Structure 1
Amino acid sequence: MTKIKKYLIFITSVALFGELYFHPFNSSLRFSAGIIVLNLIILIDEDSSPLSISYLSGIGVFLVRIFIRIFFVSMSFRDSIALHFPSIIYYIVYGLFILTTNIRERKNQFITPIIILTFADIISNIFEIMVRSQQITPHLIQMTILVGIARSIIAYFIYLLYKKQELFLLTREHQKRYSQLNILISDIQAEMFYLKKSTHDIEEVMGKSYQLYESYKHDKALKDKTLDIAREIHEIKKDYYRVLHGFENFLKTFEKNGTMMLSDMLVIIRENTQRYLIENKKNVYLNFDFKDDFELKKYYHLFTILNNLIINAIDACKYKGVIHITQDSDPNNIIFYVRDDGEGIDEDILPYIFNPGFTTKYDEKSGKSSTGIGLSHVKNIIGEFKGTIEVNTLINKGTTFKVIIPKNSLIGW
């Protein structure tokens, strides 16, 4: 928004609200709501000049009132100017007072800004009364003070509500980014299991290629080829180690104080899943129920387990269903259940669901299959925890995954 456009919006707002009047305590005195809007502008928009916005608002109020009197009240142009010109004085004095008191530097002190706004209102009203050559009576002073206090309190409390809403939106955005970061880290953690497994496989292949080189030393052609293969595998191994080491260093920065309460983690999972459901237009209800609330040490790992099981449950429900995520415990273990009322798993494919690469999911548009590594991730991580996973399923009734993890693995007994 350009500065000119912003100022026009501010001036118009003050001028229009300046035509909303109230009569305090049923008196004949008339006060407008325009100054409440001006107070809010001064408090909220730190880029605008208090003096400039006050002076221009005064001109805006003056012009609007002249227009209304000429076209709707049939007052002469000269009488309209004489009647409403003092209002410009009010706004000029108001802007000067606000400028000299530096209210923006004190606007979060609660009492101080209310006092400044009240005195600005009272002094400006007195100057306007003097310009109008009205007699300043005790009753008039009393009404001016009461209105000044009322308008200042109303404006400041609206400002506090605005700041509270702004803080709420910032907190929500921060929480959204924080939850997305946690999901990202948990995904990286899961991928590292496969990187570690691959480095082990590379070590074995390199050993075999070197044994082949030793076996065919007498054959120069084979000896050179097998040695080249061993060297190339060694280079691949070094690259893998570099990648793995980079991931580990990256994750260490998050794991120095890597703890989270279970309740906080479930809130993040719920919000991320709700966004996923909305984006994919699925009418699936999530119900979270946890018996205990405790501090998790390896919460990224648990993120991966629950996220994968919940996404699988959503897929099983197609476009409508209910998923229950439940936590329980016994003296030695923490237990999680992920239950859905979806289509279930066929008995003939049940033994293969944890195999890497196995999938029954295909993209409806492209026909490409899923990677099939979600449940294998889950099983690998649970294995690292020295836990177990069980599956119970009925066709067209639903599926329950039961995850059992020793307490000393998850919360560090």
Structure 2
Amino acid sequence: MKKKILILMGMAAVISLTGEFKFYPFYNNFRVSLATAAFFFCLLWNRYVHTLVFGTIIAICVPLFRIVADVIIYGQLHFAPALHAHQSAFFYYLTYSLLFHLFRIDRFGHRPLIMGLLAVVAEIAANVVELRFRSPVTLEHMTIPQINEIVLIAIFRSFSVIGLFTLVKHREQQSAERQKQQQYEQMIVLISHLYEESIQLKKTQQDAERITRDSYALYRRLKDEASLTDGERLARSALQIAGQIHEIKKDNQRIYAGISNIISSESVTEVMPVQELGDIVVKTNRKYAQMLGKTIDFRLQIEGTHPLYPVNTLLSLLNNLAANAVESIEAEGTITISAHRAGDLLLFEVHDNGPGIAPKIREALFEPGFTTKYDVSGNPSTGIGLNYVRELAESLQGEVGFRSSHNGETETTFVLRLPIDNLISKSKG
């Protein structure tokens, strides 16, 4: 409520002040000012009180402002003459707001011509009412040129305000669309991360299933072969281990089901053009680089024509490779992400001009748990990123490789080759 009152006070002040930017087309009997344009704009913009309430507030505030101004500037201390001189403004704004409400001018935002014509009619009618209360003689003896002048002024002011209002609304809509697009992209990235975690969780679930089966098989063997007390105790221990692993598997199943429901329930598209996918990867990892305090120039190169690709799969793969490139660059560098088709294959290349990969660690690069990255506390990272990329690529009957130089000009390029048909069938499946 406090905010609404402050906004209304601000609009009343602006309208009252703009009323002082004026001229008199009919000598001193009738003023034309910017206040009408400001009032019309505020009526279109007003979302806080009813149109008639707002119009009444302005109809009271403008004459009071002019009376106070006369007292301060001209030293006119007689209230009655000042009120008589400015009462016509009250009826002008009241008439304008009443016609604005009756015509429902704000409902024609999508039809600016009709909105403008109705606003012209409202302003001309309000001018007639103002002249009636200000100077009936002037109204009765108006000439054709004077009427034309009133009409032209009304047309100019009304359509100027509509043009400005349309521009402001367009900018506001663009800003809202940009914000919505950012939220949409963040949701897509989040879901792709959840998808990645669900793949890892599913693998853990399969491992737990296998260990449970093997533990139970060991229990059966020990029980069948146990003839001593120690053998029976070992059999019970094996059964207990199998039960504990089974509980872990059930927990994993519940978590996996929850993540799967989140992924499937979000209203985001499952497929997307490769250019948009690349843009999301670039935006996400540019923010990641900024978070790490690095200055990295990202470049995206898309060649050829492409079908729509599955969002979760490709974002998971590309974000891992791009994040790996960001982490490899020490302070400044360039990362280029390119995509093109080679027959039935989709080829992605993520190139960085970081320090390269030393020959002694290349063999273990895709092994699970292997890492060369440590946090500020000296703790190693999980080392599952590249291993995950390789497993997911191989599940699509694709492959991932790299080429790197470590001496002289340093650079690294990871190459991802994926069968397009398998990618598309995965999105449908």
* Same fold? TM cut 0.5: yes
Q: CA deviation at 1:356?
A: 2.0
Q: Does 1:401 align with 2:414?
A: yes
Compute the RMSD of aligned alpha carbons.
2.7
Aligned to 1:196: 202
Distance 1:206 1:70 in 2: 93
Q: Does 1:309 align with 2:334?
A: no
Distance 2:118 2:47 in 1: 17
Alpha carbons of 1:221 and 1:276: their partners in 2 closer, same or farther (altered >3 Å)? Answer: closer
Aligned to 1:98: 100
Distance 1:60 1:299 in 2: 57
Is the contact between residue 258 and residue 298 of structure 1 (CA under 8 Å) also seen in structure 2? Answer: yes
Distance 2:174 2:267 in 1: 28
Alpha carbons of 1:394 and 1:201: their partners in 2 closer, same or farther (altered >3 Å)? Answer: same
Aligned to 1:178: 184
Overall identity of the aligned pairs, in %: 28
Is the contact between residue 14 and residue 38 of structure 1 (CA under 8 Å) also seen in structure 2? Answer: yes
Is the contact between residue 261 and residue 293 of structure 1 (CA under 8 Å) also seen in structure 2? Answer: no
User: Which deviations, in whole Å up to 9, do the C-alpha atoms of 1:201-246 show, x marking residues without a partner?
Assistant: 2222222212221222234323322222222222322332333333
2:345 is aligned with what amino acid?
A: N
Aligned to 1:50: 51
Q: CA deviation at 1:293?
A: 4.2
2:212 pairs, out of 191, 206, 210, with: 206
Q: CA deviation at 1:29?
A: 7.0
2:358 pairs, out of 336, 343, 346, with: 346
1:36 is aligned with what amino acid?
A: A
Aligned to 2:129: 127
Aligned to 1:263: 275
Q: Does 1:3 align with 2:4?
A: yes
TM-score, normalised to structure 1's length? 0.90
Distance 1:35 1:161 in 2: 19
Distance 1:255 1:108 in 2: 29
User: Which deviations, in whole Å up to 9, do the C-alpha atoms of 1:46-93 show, x marking residues without a partner?
Assistant: 332222222322333323334444444566656654433322221111
Is the contact between residue 54 and residue 91 of structure 1 (CA under 8 Å) also seen in structure 2? Answer: yes
Q: CA deviation at 1:43?
A: 1.4
Aligned to 2:403: 392
Gaps of 5+ in 2: none
2:138 is aligned with what amino acid?
A: Q
Distance 1:139 1:255 in 2: 61
- Structure 1 residues 150-161: aligned runs within 5 Å: 150-161=156-167
Q: Does 1:374 align with 2:380?
A: no
Q: CA deviation at 1:279?
A: 4.0
Q: CA deviation at 1:257?
A: 5.8
Distance 2:420 2:13 in 1: 64
TM-score, normalised to structure 2's length? 0.87
Is the contact between residue 263 and residue 293 of structure 1 (CA under 8 Å) also seen in structure 2? Answer: no
Is the contact between residue 318 and residue 342 of structure 1 (CA under 8 Å) also seen in structure 2? Answer: yes
Aligned to 2:347: 335
Distance 1:326 1:360 in 2: 26
Is the contact between residue 329 and residue 353 of structure 2 (CA under 8 Å) also seen in structure 1? Answer: yes
Secondary structure of 2:363's aligned partner: helix
Q: CA deviation at 1:274?
A: 3.4
Secondary structure of 1:135's aligned partner: helix
Aligned to 2:296: 284
Residues matched between the structures, number: 410
